[in-house]
Structure 1
């Protein structure tokens, strides 16, 4: 491989690593949003429904 091909391969690897990191961060944010809803908003809505029933 030439120097240019090595450079391009390294750049592709770096981009792939950044995309993977971004995807992992987005998945973590999604889990945190779901947990927040379940623990806070879900419980509040459940309590509201019990009082009106």
Structure 2
């Protein structure tokens, strides 16, 4: 299976129909370590494009 085929299979059914980027994950981490997230405690933040919708 080619890399392109693997990506297509992996992203099927995801809310955005694509993989996240390193910049998107970095932005989430940057928020979590910032003062803007000072009120966030004991939270689970899942960055999986909706794969594990609850």
Q: TM-score scaled by structure 1?
A: 0.32
Judging by fraction of residues, say which structure has more helix.
1
Query: Taking CA–CA contacts closer than 8 Å with sequence separation of 6 or more, which of the two structures ends up with the larger relative contact order?
Result: 2
Larger Rg over CA atoms: 1
Q: TM-score, normalised by structure 2?
A: 0.32
